[in-house]
Structure 1
Amino acid sequence: MNDLAIAPVEILAAIQAGRSIVQLDLYRVDCSGVDLRGANLAGLNAIGSNFSKANLSSADLSGADLRGVDLSGANLSGANLTGAYLNRSLLYATNLTDTDLTGAKLQVARYDRHTIWTAGFAYKSSGAIGPGAALNGAYLNTANLRDADLSGANLLGSYLSGADLTGANLQNTRLSGATLQRAFLTGASLRNARLNGVNLEGADLRAADLSGIELEHLSSIAGADFSQVQGLSEDLRSMLLGRSAAELDVWNAFTRQTTRQSLTRSSRPSRSHP
């Protein structure tokens, strides 16, 4: 969000004064840290804006378009977000205590362990991305999930083709039956994850942590790159190298290395873990 414009002083002054903001457009505006507690922001268009650390407590944001908005560290306690669009928004450490989220759209919004949700709200099944999320069968093809915390999430049978999971925390995540074709898992932590029956065709797993992983009945590993993976047991590596030449000798279109080369040249053996 480095290219965000600075919100005009008169617009913020009008909002803070409680004047009507019908049709107000705050597209890609920097409102970080602004104090808009109790403001009437119903129907606000703030796509892609920065409201990080803003005070929006008790504000009326019903029907607001907050797609892609950075709400990290923002105070939305007691706010009205009925029917609001929060798709792809950032909710890291956001305070949503007593917030009305009736009918709010949260698909691919990202939360973390520090997000405070209103009591009783089923955030794990809301379509949002975060620890323990219920995303079985979800369509997340090409999604930007870089550095996302999906530890303990349920992604059974999910569609993640081309998704960017670089550096993501996928510890204890259930991914069995998922489609991970051409997914980027570089540096991701997959410790104790279940990947039984997944499709890893063309996936980039370089330097991923595969300690304790379940990896059986794979659909395909053709073109997958396992260079410098950590924690891959010798048994699993041998199993992978026992796949057909039709899979092992396929080039990864991105790394320009075959699956066989990635498994024999630079894989790191498993270490013992408590």
Structure 2
Amino acid sequence: MKPPIAILGLTIILGASPLAAQSMTDMVDLSSDAYTKAEMSRADIAIAIGKLQPGKKLNLSGKALNGLDLSGMDLRRVNLQAAHMMHTDFSNSNLDGVNLDSAWSLNSKWVGAKLRGASLFQTQLQGADLERVDFSGAHVAGDFSKASLRNAVFDKADLSPNEANQSMGLMRGTFKNSTLDGASFRGANMHRVLIEFSSLKDADLTGANLDDAELGGSSFEGANVSGANLVNADFTSANVGGIKNLKGAKNWDKAKGLPSTTQ
């Protein structure tokens, strides 16, 4: 096999299959220092933030911050684009408006964190604990597969792909085998979102735009879809028993894969 090369902070293994959207974990060496060690400590970051001049930001783009305890910190003035934050603890931290594009944070902890208006394009959060995280108004086009997102808030967030800028594939909100019980997506743009084999028990999808969403195999027991746009949403093999206000949704009759008993 040819030696790996680094592109955009990723260690790419040459000779592997073509890079595909939302499936990059097998394309990097997760055992390398870049994904296992930290270049800074919590104290280093706190001191650097404290020294910032008004209006300035701390640039930690591409930094290795793996395994750190950053819980409860105010990180609103930090740029974390392409940072490596594997197994890092952000519980109850404030990251409102923070740039997390292309960041890697697998199996990390974000319980109760604030990411309102943050940017998460191509962000890798597989297996993360994101319970009660507030993504309101955020741009969420990352991978949340196998993540726990119970009671997370995506109100008015944009989970859709930017179809004019997809050179590396279709980057969108991706939830495979994820737990979204009690999550709120009120008024969210979920155009072409991918939510497969996931649980959305008692989720609130009121007024969400789910056109062309791929929802196969997911469970919608108790989920509220009042006012949601379901045109071409694909529910093939999904559990829609107990779904609330289906006929109060927009274009529910144009959704795909709904059992005939619901139509």
TM (norm. structure 1) is 0.50
Which SS does the other structure have where 1:183 is aligned? coil
**3-state SS, counterpart of residue 99 of structure 2:** helix
Cα gap change, 1:198 to 1:235, in 2 (>3 Å)? closer
Does the C-alpha gap of structure 1 residues 181 and 235 become closer, same or farther in structure 2, counting only changes over 3 Å? same
Q: Does 1:227 align with 2:221?
A: yes
Q: Match of 2:195?
A: 200
| Pair 1:235–1:95, CA change in 2 (3 A) | closer
Give the number of equivalent residue pairs.
182
Instruction: Determine the structure 2 residue equivalent to 1:131.
Output: 116
Which SS does the other structure have where 1:197 is aligned?
Answer: coil
TM-score normalised to the size of structure 2? 0.52
Per the alignment, residue 189 of structure 1 pairs with: 184
Cα distance in structure 1, aligned partners of 2:205 and 2:79: 40
Secondary structure (helix, strand or coil) at the match of 1:155 reads strand
Could you tell me which amino acid in structure 2 is paired with residue 150 of structure 1?
F
Choose the corresponding residue for 1:173, options 149, 152, 157.
157
3-state secondary structure, aligned to 2:50: coil
> How far apart are residue 233 of structure 1 and its match?
2.0
Q: Tell me by how many angstroms 1:214 deviates.
A: 0.5
Return 5+ residue gaps in structure 1 as ranges.
1-46, 48-61, 117-121, 251-257
In structure 2, how many angstroms separate the alpha carbons of the residues matched to 1:200 and 1:98? 32
Q: Which residue identity does 2:136 align to in structure 1?
A: S
- Per the alignment, residue 51 of structure 2 pairs with 78
Query: Matches of 2:79 and 2:121 in 1, distance apart?
Result: 26
**Deviating 4+ runs (over 3 angstroms):** 62-66, 73-76, 78-93, 95-101, 103-116, 125-129, 234-240, 268-271
Any conservation in 1 of the 2:207–2:228 contact (CA below 8 Å)? no
Q: Report the alpha carbon displacement of residue 209 of structure 1 after superposing the two structures with TM.
A: 1.3
Query: What is the deviation of 1:222?
Result: 2.4
Deviation readout 1:174-208 (Å, 9 max, x if unpaired)? 11232212211111111111111122221111111
Amino acid at match of 1:167: N
User: CA distance change for structure 1 residues 89 and 123 in 2, over 3 Å: closer, same or farther?
Assistant: farther
Residue among 221, 245, 261 paired with 2:241: 261
Matches within 5 A, 1:78-117: 78=51, 85-87=64-66, 89=68, 91=70, 94-95=73-74, 110=90, 114=94
More relative contact order in 1 or in 2 (CA 8 Å, sep 6+)? 2
- TM-align CA RMSD: 4.6
Percent sequence identity is: 23
Residues 104 and 139 of structure 1: CA distance in aligned 2, closer, same or farther (over 3 Å): closer
